[in-house]
Structure formats: C-alpha cells, structure tokens
Structure 1
Amino acid sequence: MAPDNDPLVRTVAGRIKADLDRLAPTMTSMFTEVIPEFRHDDEVRRLMVASTESNLAAMLDMLTLAIGIDDITVPPAAAEYARRFAQHDLSLEALLRAYRLGEHMFVQWTMTLLAELNPPTDVALAAAARIADMVNSYIDQVIEGLIDIYESERRRWDARTDAARAAQVRAVLDADDLDLASAEQMLGVSLRGWQQFAVLWTPPGTRDPGAILRAGIALMAAATGKTPMTVEVDDYSRWVWISSAGKPVLDTEGLVRGLRGQPKLSVALGDPATGLDGFRQTCRDAQRARTVALATRTHGLTGYADVALSALFTDRVPEVQEWASRVLGGLMGEDETAARLRETVRAFLDARGSYTDAAARLHVHKNTVHYRVRKAEELLGHPLTERRLDLEVALRACAQLGLPKS
C-alpha cells in the first residue's frame, strides 16, 4: 500500500509559505542576476516581483488545498508582466526560462525541507515526486497561457503603427480633459512615476538614418539604465522616453561620449517630471530644446535645462535678437573681438563681478579681464552693474539663438 504523502506535502508547502518573505526575494534576485532581460527599471521590476509572488502563492495553494490542475489560470500579475515583456520587445524565451529556473529553485526548497523533516525514505521520495509533478504541471499550464498572452500582445503592439503611436502621444499632450487612466491606456505605459522625454534626429539626407537612430536609442538606454519607449516620427527622427518609479539618473558624460562617435546624431532632452502633467511637460521641453538646437545649428546633446530661457523665445527669435541688439549695442559685432568681449562679460557676470574668478574661467590673466571689461563698458556706455539682468539675458539669447542677420 502506497504511503499517504499528502500530509507531508501540505507540511512542506506550509513551511515554504511561512518563509515566503525571505524566499521570494531570493528567487527574484536570481532572475535579475541570471537573465539580462529581467534588469528593468523600477516600475517593471516591481511588476516582476508581483508576478513571482503571485505564482508562488498559486503553487502553494495548489499543494495545500488540493486545487486541480484544470482550475489553474495565469495569475493577473503574471499576465500583466508577460504583456509588458511583449511591449518592450523582450524575448519570450527569456520569460519562459525564468519559469523553468523558478521551478527548479522551488523543488530545491522542498528537497531541503524534506531532508530537515527526515521522514522515512519511501515517504520522502513519494512526497518529493508528488511535489515535483504538481509543480511541473502548474508551470506547464501557466506557460501555455503566457505564450498566448505574450503573442497576442506582441501582435497588438506591432499593429499599432508608429504613426498611430505618434498620434496617441500628441493626443495625450493636447487633450487637457484626458484622465490618467485613459492616457496610460493610449500609450501602453504607466505614467504614475517619473518620465523623461528625448527627441533624436539626423539631418535630412543622412545615409542610413535608421541605423544611426537605433544607435541613439541604445545610447539613451545605456545612459539611463532603462528600456526606453520609442516612436518613429519620420525617417530622420525618433521620440524616446523613459518611464520609471524613481527619478531618472542620466549618465550625461557617457551620453556625450557616445554622441561623439555619432557625429550625425543629435539629442534634445527634456527635464524629468512626474505624472501625466510631467509627461506633457518633459515632451514639450525636449521639443523646445530641439528648436533651440536647430536654430543655433547645435549638434550632440542639448538639454532643456541648459537652454530653457532661450527656449521661451524660439517663437519670437527676430524680436528677441532686435531687443538684444539694443541692450548690447557695440558688443553685437560679428568679429572675433566682439565675440571675445561678450564671452568675457558673461564670465564676469557669472563670477559675480570677481575678476579673479572670471580669469580662472576664461584661462586668461586677471589684467586681461580688467581690460576687456573696461572696453565692454565703453561700448555699452555704462558700467556692467547697470541693467545687469538685461545684459545677462541678452548675452544668453545671443549665445543660444544666434546673432541677428545683417
């Protein structure tokens, strides 16, 4: 007569359930360590944790409550994680590998507990076989459902053309009456955390622009440590944004280095912001930064934070340049001497009137700064301490929007 191993199976499952707060993080850490695709941003990683915990809970219920295999369905968190995997174009193979690795780890836990409980050998073997068979059946059942979910989402996601995605982003930007849930459904991403938007582009006529833009997307992923969402706006530009629970941390130096290797690629970066309003803000910031970059023929990286003041004027560049001409007078010359004087005045004002600090910034002797400041004041017709704010704004506008055309 075969030994009754059900009480032992329930005991082992109960022990695992009682220790789940420790064991579940062990499994999720193993996933991120072994499978590169599982190293997501914080928002998606939390979904991975919820998926793992829901699968473990379902397996333990099956072992303790005698739930039949036909009653097993894909847990909602696991289904959503599979959909997110598909949206980010991550491989189905990586997702299925995680389930097999998780199955192996779970069975190892049960073997360890059986050794600690030390029942008779035949009882232990029967219990181990039953647990392994039930867990394997659960994994097979769930994987079958996950494949359908992943492939359906992949087809749905692919069916959304880039033109449609661009239209949806524009709708989210422009529809003030759109609520958060509707915006998230349209974009297919969470907008409850931090967002950071970038515009990538190459000059029209660039050879093989798609390869250059793909390289730019890879640079953004490396600089943020996140998997970006992308929209193909046209042959020569892409919209890219990062969505994460925590504030994005950008490796600016790494991004600038990478862009040096892509001389045909330019990136305009919005400031990070939170929520639906933040998504709209960072999108518009990136587009304004791009406008400044195009107006000044700037290549490489243009951050909105660095050109925010000038970005406010991009719709009225001729008027701003005309006003700057009145403020700066003789400093508006196009020759090298005038450019050097403008640079010196900016450094002097940034240094709060310190000749020593300004000289250090310009890598010149302090006496040179004295001479240039005096010359600039002669051209202006007044000391730099007068109309200081106007001077600083006019100088910045000229540096970022260019001099008026003669």
Structure 2
Amino acid sequence: MTRSTTIGRAGGSTPQAWLAGWLRRDIESLLDPLVSALTTAVPEILVAADAPDRHVRDAVRMHLTTLTRCFTPEEPDSEIAMPSLVARYTRALARHDAVALPVLLRSFETLHAALWQHLVTALHTADPRPSAVERAAVMEWAAARLFAYFRTASERTASLYGTELALLERRATSRRTDLVTGLLGGTVDPAAAQRELGYDLGARHVGFVAWTDRGSGPDRLDGAVRTVVEALRPQRRLRVPGDGRSVHGWLVCHGEGWRELAARRSLPPGVHIAWGGPASGYDGFRTTHAEAQEARRVADALGSAGTVLFDDVAVLALATRDDSAATAFVARTLGRLAAGGDEADRLLRTLRVHLAELGSPTRTARRLHVHPNTVVKRMERIESLLGRPVDPADLALRTATELSTMVARPDQAGQVQPETPPSTGSTTPVR
C-alpha cells in the first residue's frame, strides 16, 4: 500500500491503520446509529425480555471491537477470528428458538451495509480530508476486510446454529423414543406422555412401520415417509426412529380414506411401509403398532415390495404365529404340491394366481404370460395332485397356497431361518 502523509495525520500511516484508528475513536458515536439502522431493518432481532436494545447494542459493540483488530493485519485476506461470545450467543438463540437463522444472517448484511455508509461519510468529512487516491486505498482495504469479516461471521453463525439445532433434535428424538418405548411397554403414565409428546393418545390411531432394504440410504426413507404422511393429511402425527433402517409412526386419521391413499401411493425402490388397522385409545395405540409390525413380518417373508396393509395379510399373519402348525397345515392341505421342485413351484404359482383371479383361465394366463390352454392343463394337473377339484372360494386352500411361500418345505427341513418375533410392546420397536 502507498503511505500517505495525510492519512498519517488523520490517525495512521497506512489505510489499515487509518481504519483501526477511525473505529477506535468513533466507536461510541457509531453505536447508536448502527443499532437504530439494524433494529429498524430487522426488528425481529429485538428478542431479549429485558432491555432488548441494550442487548443489540452490546452485540454491535462486540463486532466493532473485533473489527478494529481485523483492520490491523498487513494482508487483507489474513484469517478472521470470531470472538467466543459469538458462539455462546448463537447457541443460546438456537437453543431457545429466539431468533431464526435467516434473521441473524440478515442482521449481518444490514450491519455491513450501514457500517460501510458511515465509513464513506467519515472519509469525506475527516479533517484533514484524505485525497481521492488515499480514499480509494482505504476503501479498497475496508471492502476486503469487511467482506471477509461478515462472511466469516455468517458462515460461523450458520454452522453453530445448525449444530445446535441438530443437537436439540437428537435430544428431542431420544426423549420421544424413550416415551414411546415406555408407552408400548406400559412403563410410563399415558397422560404425562401425551402432554410431553403433544399427541392425543385417546384418538383413533393408524400405526405404520417404514423400512428400507439394506443398501438403501436413510434419506430416501425419510423423504418417502414425509411424502406419504403429507398425502394422508392426518390431524396429528408421531414418529420415532427404529433400528437405523426403519421408522415407526402413528397418525390420527378420520374415516377410511387413508387406506386407499396409502395403498396407491408409490414408493421409491427399496422403501416399504406396513400399516396397522385403525384402533382407538391407549390400547389402540399399541394394537395398531403391533399390527404394523406383523404386516412387516409377513411382507418380509413373502418378499413383498412397497405398501402392505395388515388387513390384507391378517390371515397369513395369524396363521404363521406358530411355524410348525403352519408348516403342517400347508403340507396337509397341498399334499404333493408342497413337496418342492421346479414343477411343484410352477404349479403353485399358477394355483395362486388362479385363485386370485377367481378361477378365470383367461385372466390367469394374462398374468402368467402363457396361453389359456396351458393354464387349463396345469389346473388339471393340480387337481390330480390334490385329489379334488379346485374351488376359488375354498379359504383353506387359498390360505395354504399363500402360506406355502412362508413356511419350510419338506426338502428344507432343518434349514428354516427363524422369524423375527412380533412386537410385544417392549423396547424392540424403538431403539
């Protein structure tokens, strides 16, 4: 920088020295107009219960004092050090939800602009008045340092604010999870939990469990759950994290319209949602959750994708509560069709679709992508193996056919993977 005799007489031999001297000398006269400009442009900054103007004034003074030090380095891009008070003040505002982050960032922009205007005025009214070249040198230095300072202040504030909010959210989530765990396990007072959760336990609930396949990101799960829940427009909602790949939730929905909305809502690949049936009161809160857990268990066993409603799989859920009984029922009802092997598997799939299509060879063939005559021949073979005609209204046959994909076949004896036990209202669903 070019040294100037005029700048030297005004308070320093260099632009940065002139700036530091100006701030030290005029800091008291600058405070009131800067505070007025800030509170006029950003009135939301006045949040203190007692003497809010004084709190803003103290904050502005702190920034001016720090800026005085920032104007003294020899290099305009040297590191800016924020005072520790900024961190404490930012965390306190976030913790008490006193001032939103955009308001804080706007206050920095306002203070930056106001301070710049006062600097320009000072350069034109100083005695002696710096020359045009000297004013340009001071303004060039000031522009670089002011920009660096307020950019650093904004970035630091945004980072601290976000970190504090994330910490608060983790604590709140942990507390919600503890309360829900206690509700499911019967270890907390429902009335006290209801007040703290802000969720009406006496209402008519619909519980759900959402989860992702391994390898799918949790962000996709959160976004999918939010989209589905918003589409249902519940009166109240409550959700807690599960095992890292799942979310457990409850909605207060009136009527039965939620069923159709939930069933037809498309989900991203790898994301699944299981729904319990509607149930009322504190007992219903636990019941619909248990049903959602059961629906998930059945969906996992069947390899189903997307959305599953408990009412659609209730028979399968109840029938598979006892694995050995379910296996025996399937073997007894399906006979040689349950023996396994390529032919048996192909015939079972044909039977399953045939029953779902109420015995229509044409619709069955369309779904299986085969000729209707092929379906007729397969059904003749199925009836031969069963030793009786196939009746689409036969509940036992329909149930056994669906169960056949969930139980061990004779050639898999001793290789059955254990099922995940259903929720009993303990801590299992919310960890």
Q: TM-score, with normalisation over the residues of structure 2?
A: 0.48
Indicate if the aligned counterparts of 1:344 and 1:358 stay in contact, CA closer than 8 A.
Answer: yes
The yes-or-no answer on 1:391 pairing with 2:397 is yes
Question: Structure 1 counterpart of 2:294, which letter?
Answer: R
Answering whether residue 200 of structure 2 is matched by residue 194 of structure 1, we say no
One-letter amino acid of the counterpart of residue 273, structure 1: A
> Offset of 1:189 from its aligned partner?
0.3
Give distance in 1, aligned partners of 2:249 and 2:327.
32
Matching of residues 4-403 of structure 1 within 5 Å:
158=169, 161-175=172-186, 181-182=191-192, 184-185=194-195, 187-203=197-213, 206=215, 209-226=217-234, 228-247=237-256, 249-250=258-259, 251-252=261-262, 255-256=265-266, 258-260=267-269, 263=270, 265-350=271-356, 352-353=358-359, 355=361, 364-385=370-391, 388-400=394-406, 403=409
> In structure 1, what is the equivalent of residue 53 of structure 2?
none
1:191–1:243 contact (8 Å) kept in structure 2:
no
> Unpaired runs of 5+ in structure 1?
1-89, 94-153
Do the aligned partners of 1:166 and 1:232 also contact (CA within 8 Å) in 2?
Answer: yes
* Pairwise CA RMSD: 4.0
Equivalent pair of 1:328/1:380 in contact (CA under 8 Å): yes
Cα deviation digits, residues 6-51 of structure 1 (max 9, x gap) = xxxxxxxxxxxxxxxxxxxxxxxxxxxxxxxxxxxxxxxxxxxxxx
| Greater Rg by CA | 2
Give SS of 1:384's match. coil
Shift of residue 311, structure 1, vs aligned partner: 1.4
**Residues in 2 aligned to 1:248 and 1:353: alpha-carbon distance in whole angstroms:** 30
| Amino acid of the structure 2 residue aligned with 1:243 | V
- In the aligned structure 1, how far is the partner of 2:237 from the partner of 2:196? 17
Q: What is the identity, as a one-letter code, of the residue corresponding to 2:396?
A: D
- Deviation of 1:195 after TM superposition, in Å, equals 1.7
Contact persistence 1:330–1:380 (CA under 8 A): yes
Is contact 1:192-1:245 (8 Å) kept? no
| Residue type of the alignment partner of 1:199 | V
Tell me the secondary structure at the aligned position of residue 211 of structure 1.
helix
- Kindly indicate whether the alpha-carbon contact (under 8 Å) linking 2:275 and 2:291 is maintained by their aligned counterparts in 1: yes
CA positional deviation for 1:376: 0.7
Give the match's secondary structure for 1:165: helix
The farther-off stretch of 286-295 and 218-227 is 218-227
1:345-364 C-alpha deviation (Å, 9 max, x unpaired) = 33444455555665566565
1:370 Cα deviation from its structure 2 partner: 2.8
Distance 2:397 2:380 in 1: 15
| Equivalent pair of 1:195/1:278 in contact (CA under 8 Å) | yes
CA distance in 2, matches of 1:291, 1:220: 21
Q: Deviation string for 1:243-298 (max 9, x for gaps)?
A: 24454525246532x323xx2x2222222333333322211111111112233343
Cα distance change of structure 1 residues 362 and 300 upon mapping to structure 2, 3 Å threshold: same
Runs (4+) off by over 4 Å = 90-93, 157-161, 176-179, 245-248, 350-366, 400-404
SS state at 1:196 partner = strand
Give the superposition deviation at 1:159: 7.7
| Counterpart contact for 1:217–1:240, Cα < 8 Å | no
CA 1:201–1:91: 2 relative to 1, 3 Å:
farther
The 8 Å contact of residues 199 and 237 in structure 2, kept in 1 or not, is answered as no
Matched residue SS, 2:388: coil
CA distance 1:350–1:187, change in 2 (3 Å): same
Distance 1:363 1:210, change over 3 A: closer
Partner of 1:312: helix, strand, or coil?
helix
CA distance in 1, matches of 2:327, 2:308: 21
2:80 match: none
Q: 1:386 to 1:303 in 2, by over 3 A?
A: closer
Query: Corresponding residue for 1:119?
Result: none
Q: 1:188 to 1:387 in 2, by over 3 A?
A: closer
Given the superposition, is the C-alpha separation of residues 242 and 248 from structure 1 closer, same or farther in structure 2, using an over 3 Å criterion?
Answer: farther
CA distance in 2, matches of 1:166, 1:255: 27
Structure 2 residue matching 1:345: 3-state secondary structure: helix
| 1:106-147 per-position Cα deviation (integer Å, ceiling 9, x unaligned) | xxxxxxxxxxxxxxxxxxxxxxxxxxxxxxxxxxxxxxxxxx
Cα separation, 2, equivalents of 1:91 and 1:340: 65
Could you say what secondary structure the match of 2:404 adopts? helix
- Superposed CA deviations along residues 195-238 of structure 1, whole A, max 9, x for unmatched, are 2221122345x36x431332232232243234742211232221
Measure, in 2, the Cα distance between the counterparts of 1:386 and 1:248: 29
Measured after TM superposition, the shift of residue 192 of structure 1 is 3.7
Which structure's residues are more often helix, by fraction? 1
